[in-house]
Each structure stands twice: as structure tokens, then as C-alpha cells.
Amino acid sequence: MKLRNVIMLQYLNYNIVFQEVPGEVTLAINLSNCPNRCKGCHSPFLQENKGDVLDEAVIKALLAKYGEAITCICFMGGDADPQMVGQLCSYIKSYTNGQVKTAWYSGKQKLPDGFDVMQLNYLKLGPYVESLGGLDSPDTNQRFYVIVRGELMDQSIFFQKKKGFPSGILLQDSCN
């Protein structure tokens, strides 16, 4: 019990975002206590042990406030307690009857053993490596997957294609 308390999920804040999960209106929850310590991390404040506990009650409250307006909830981080991420994803699915999708931005190279990928619609894997850059960098090591019937379909290319649209014809063929 004591161990669980130490590594429970904590969140610092949340926001409505559009680029992390293509095509979705996403409530991104920024989880703190990140264990990955990537060099050049763009939000080092998320490495600190601070914020409020994130549990089903908090998710329920967020859904009451934004559930009708969003199409997806994305956990940004949470590698300190992947089990809890899975549990909350499962909660979101059952509570909204599958109306709200789930996404997870993990900094690990692969999913932890025993993680039920069926709880997710979208998944980002891979630590941030400064020399390779993030998902929008052509050399990135990070991968973005859409999960279809339990299979991970690599859609990282989406984040590459965004660059260099001719002006006036934006995002036309890339997001549907």
C-alpha cells in the first residue's frame, strides 16, 4: 500500500490541445513525477514530484465539465505508474461508453509488460532524444501509433507531413 502511494499519478494541469492527437479535440492532462529524465526535456517541471492526485474522481469531474466537448483524453507522461494510466483509460471508456477516446504519451521505448493496449486509441512511445528531436523532426526516434483492434499502426508520418503545406491548401488530405 505504501509503495502505491509514493508512485501514484499526480497531475499539474490540463489544457485543450489539437496537435498531439490528430483529428481529435483533446483534453491533455500533464502528469508530473516523470521518471524518464530525458536530456533537453521541454517541460522539466513535470519531473518534479508535485501536483494533485489524479484518480477516477478527478477524471469524472473533468468529464462532467468537458465530456461533451472533447473527443479524446490524452495522458502526457505517467510512466511512474503505467498501471494507473491503463486503469484510468479503462474507466474513461466505460464511463463515456466509448464516446471519449484515450491516448497516452509515454516516454518509454515500449509498453510495459501486461499493459492492455485495448484501453488505448492512440499511443506515443519513445524518450526524447535531443539530437533526434520530437515527433515533428524527420530524424525522430519517437513513434505515434493508432490502435486498431489491438494492433499498433504506426502513424508517425502524420507529424512529418504537417510541415511545408503550400499556403492556402492546408491539412486538406492529411487528417481524415
Partner 1 sequence: METFIVKRDGKKEAFSIEKIKSAIRKAFLSVGSFATDEVITNILCRVNITSGVTVEDIQNQVEIALMSERYYAVAKAYMIYRQKHLEDREVRDKLEFLMEYCNAQNAASGSKYDANANVENKNLATLIGELPKSNFIRLNRRMLTDRIKDIYGKEVSDRYIDLLNNHFIYKNDETSLANYCASITMYPWLISGTASIGGNSKAPTNLKSFCGGFINMVFMVSSMLSGACATPEFLMYMNYFIGLEFGDDYYLDTDRIVDLSKKQRTLDKVITDYFEQIVYSINQPTGARNFQAVFWNISYYDSYYFNSLFENFLFPNGSKPHWESLNWLQKRFMKWFNRERTKTILTFPVETMALLSENGDAKDKEYGDFTAEMYAEGHSFFTYMSDNADSLSSCCRLRNEITDNGFSYTLGAGGVSTGSKSVLTINLNRCIQDSARKGKHYLFFLEEVVDLVHKVQAAYNENLKYMQEKGMLPLFDAGYINMSRQYLTIGVNGLVEAAESLGIEITDNPRYEEFVQQVLGLIEYYNKKYRTKDMMFNCEMIPAENVGVKHAKWDKRDGFRVNRDCYNSYFYIVEDESLNIIDKFRLHGRKYIEHLTGGSALHMNLDEHLSKEQYKQLLRVAVQEGCNYFTFNIPNTVCNACGHIDKHNLRECPICKSHDLDYLTRIIGYMKRVSNFSESRQIEAAQRHYATVSEL
Residues of this chain that bind partner 1 (CB under 8 A): 14-20, 22-25, 28, 30, 42, 66, 68-71, 76, 134-136, 164-165, 167-172, 174-176
**CB 171, min distance to partner 1, A:** 5
Output the smallest distance, CB 7 to partner 1, in A: 23
- Please identify, using beta-carbon distances, which residue of 70 and 89 lies nearer to partner 1: 70
Could you tell me the smallest distance in angstroms from the CB atom of residue 16 to partner 1?
4
Termini Cα distance of the chain: 45
DSSP 8-state symbol, 112? P
131 versus 172: smaller Cβ distance to partner 1: 172
CB of residue 142 to partner 1, shortest distance in Å: 10
Classify strands 151-154 and 72-76 as parallel, antiparallel or unpaired. Answer: unpaired
Q: Which is nearer to partner 1, 6 or 25 (CB)?
A: 25
Per-residue burial over 71-93, b = 16 or more CB atoms within 10 Å of its CB, e = otherwise: ebbbbbbbbbbbebbbbbbbbbb
